[in-house]
Chain A
């Protein structure tokens, strides 16, 4: 399929730019310097999360592209999404999924910084076959230039979006209340803009929804879902506690959508830009739905171990760090009692964690 006109007009692009600014500012406002320290203090969870996020997720995106035989422009966009760092949305979902918000925030922080280095490398690695396809097509059409991934521009756009995030962090230091407002406003703006984009796509390019091949829909839905699935089992393999499994799962599947928009707008040009934007829009829309569903599911299956975790953490908070909660053996659910990640004294060596 081809786009006869630009998917987004200049005015939409401006709006999108503003949204990215507001959202990244809001994301920064939700972070503190302490979160960086948490990363340093809990390297194991963050490391496993990091492997899941930058090791598994791009691989998932690449495999989906190959398996569903996506057109190269879409494939590159999907891989780009696979290589993104996490955003602040995942922190909120983590909270409601009864998982470790601290780990989620730590992973967001770490991945955003590491993305500067890793994103160009991963993109180069996974997307090279698809860039070659585009170049071949372009040459066949009579062009004499090669299509290359604009690595420099990508790093540039990443740096650019980190500026409002940094400003948000400064705000957080100045005023907690304003930072909270910035965070909420960002979430609100994100919903409005996504709906606006879907709306304009619908009204201006109504046939687009029908023309889009099913593989593209499948890919943009599945990339998130498979991220959740692999993130969950990967961290389970490493015997992390359930609350960390859920956090890593959500953090792996939920990527920082606004960063994708920024990179696509700033680093790519037509004819590929519109197609890439379309994937980003679809991903951003579906990920809200799938992660809501997964969050509700996690909330249910995690209820018991979360209650044990939380109660124990509060015991330690109120009665002292050395207090041990002796739950009756038959009370602990099979999954918690026999989960090797729990250690020999289930739930008792867990320490209080600030939420």
Chain B
């Protein structure tokens, strides 16, 4: 049964959800083990109206940009309700923002009113107050003490609004009617290729297109666990979708996740590869420590499940199909898979019940599906969970496409791909060199199996980058958004992602970083001739470093050749010191930008092979050449 609400604007969606779902819990936060506090759709909407009225009284105009600087908490959603109901636009960011970015965001987007999570965050904002001439008022969300002037408490703003409403102030309700679907609902700053954040403008209709198209059905009886930062559009879309379906969002955190999974027994969640990596690790550790009988049962069960599922996937047409296969060959393979499936069925049935089900219980045992996004899911982990029977649906998207472009569905669950395209979404695959359109094409196969840059067109594509028309024009041409990602269409019409054209490194936690500024900073060291940041889809970044023979000689080391230099244990120690002092939190780098591991490379980069004529690194080539070094770097953590 499909009962999602689709409305022209977010404010109207919030209103309709309150009408339809009333007293059902919309959000719940944990106050301790087995002690959660629910907020109903009705309460949230009423409180949102109070807050909106309070904001309007503070002078907030329709379309104003309101800062929302906070990590996940129920007040975040309340603030969003208030902002949407007052017709304004929010500019969200979490506590991992650096001071420089914060100042840039507030000034660039022209924020006059900002919500700030707690006194600690407030201090960070207030210390920069002199550089923020336009910031007029700050609203503290958690009710903590503040010794600054001009700081309001969220509770007080809401209460003032409530008083006005009881006196007959209906301005918030009027604002709701005035908002147009083409208006912005949020302005999300992402760190882009240039290093300075870019403000992605998303409209109500962008958001609603996602509400309409998400191919997973939820209802009032679903429980959604939230662990990803809500200011990321990926998590936010799922939270709004949860509201739209009348399900309840339960806020969890990294530390309490394992316990919350068992308490809440979620039926759905947005997740990042990192979560599955750590769960995978925990399950394997558990198996390793189990006594031999259990280990044997698990291994047998998992092995059976692997082949059973492979046959099942094949029979459903959900195998990974990168090359064209004739109908006859497929028919024969089909029969063989059917035979294998039948033979394995009784055994799988037993092991599934006795061995695999208890493992699935670790995620609460009720998960119907989970969408993994924000980075590529390592293939063996993807395979592992889908074999186990935890349907991990990998999706693909970006903030600029609010965010989902393609996602696997329970029916079309092709491991190794990001699934079919969302409805109403078109893509084309463009050749990197010639710019020719490879997919779709009239040739046989329709251009499937051809690798190139993905360009996307659809109702989810952003309006543009805020106050950056040039950049917008470069990114969106004739309605087609250039994603910067490389991919291909498989022969069963699923999208497979093959890497990034741009240098951006996306860690498995979903955090993005630009390697170039870090490399630039490192190359200023006399000891480093050249270097490259690696770590795509890994937990943290690593460095391939080419030590400078000259630099070390000048520093008094008696070495003649590069080989000798690399053999010398002093070299690595020295470079490590250098890296540590240059790339540090004190120097304004974020935690995920810190370099954990270093490998020395034995020969200089040459123009034409590893570098372009302009001395820019050809990252794909270098990654290919030093693949074993990179693997070694990440293998140890296993």
Contact = CB atoms under 8 A, between A and B. Distances in A.
Q: Is the interface of B mostly helix, strand, loop or mixed?
A: mixed
A184 B22 contact: no
B35 A318 contact: yes
Interface in A312-343: 314-315, 317-319, 323, 325-328, 331
A325 B25 CA distance: 8
Contacts of A308: 221
A94 to B, nearest CB: 11
Interface stretch (B348-356, B528-536, B603-611): B348-356
A185 interface: yes
Nearest to B300: A188
Most buried by A among B264, B291, B353: B353
A129 interface: no
A319 B37 contact: yes
Contacts of A315: 25, 38
Interface string B1-26: 00100000000000000001111110
Contacts of B36: 318-319
B37 A331 contact: no
Interface string B516-544: 00000000000000000000000000000
Given A96-B353, A188-B354, A328-B22, A317 B34 contact: yes
A146 interface: no
Most buried by A among B21, B28, B36, B263: B36
Contact of A184 (B34, B35, B355): B355
B220 interface: yes
Most buried by B among A311, A323, A326: A311
Most buried by A among B291, B346, B354: B354
Contacts of A328: 20-22, 24, 220, 246
A310 B22 CA distance: 20
Nearest to B351: A188
Contact of B38 (A181, A319, A327): A319
B294 interface: yes
Contacts, number: 81
A180 B38 contact: no
A166 interface: no
Contact of B354 (A184, A317, A327): A184
B297 interface: yes
Contacts of B350: 187-188, 191
B400 interface: no
A310 B365 CA distance: 12
A318 B364 CA distance: 14
Contacts of B28: 318-319
B551 interface: no
Contacts of A327: 24, 220-221
B355 A318 contact: no
Nearest to A313: B265
A92 B353 contact: yes
A181 B20 contact: no
A333 to B, nearest CB: 9
A292 interface: yes
Contacts of B346: 191
A325 B34 CA distance: 17
A325 B219 CA distance: 14
A326 B24 contact: yes
B344 interface: no
Interface in A285-321: 292, 307-308, 310-311, 314-315, 317-319
Interface in B303-357: 346, 349-350, 353-355, 357
Interface of A: 92, 95-96, 177, 180-181, 183-185, 187-188, 191, 292, 307-308, 310-311, 314-315, 317-319, 323, 325-328, 331
Interface of B: 3, 20-25, 28, 34-38, 219-223, 246, 263-265, 267, 290-291, 293-294, 297, 346, 349-350, 353-355, 357-358, 366
30 contacts: A92-B353, A92-B354, A95-B353, A177-B290, A177-B294, A181-B293, A188-B297, A188-B350, A188-B354, A191-B346, A292-B349, A310-B265, A311-B221, A311-B222, A311-B223, A314-B223, A315-B38, A318-B34, A318-B38, A318-B263, A319-B25, A319-B28, A319-B36, A319-B38, A326-B22, A326-B23, A328-B22, A328-B220, A328-B246, A331-B246
Query: 3 closest A-B pairs (Cβ-Cβ)?
Result: A318-B36, A311-B221, A307-B221
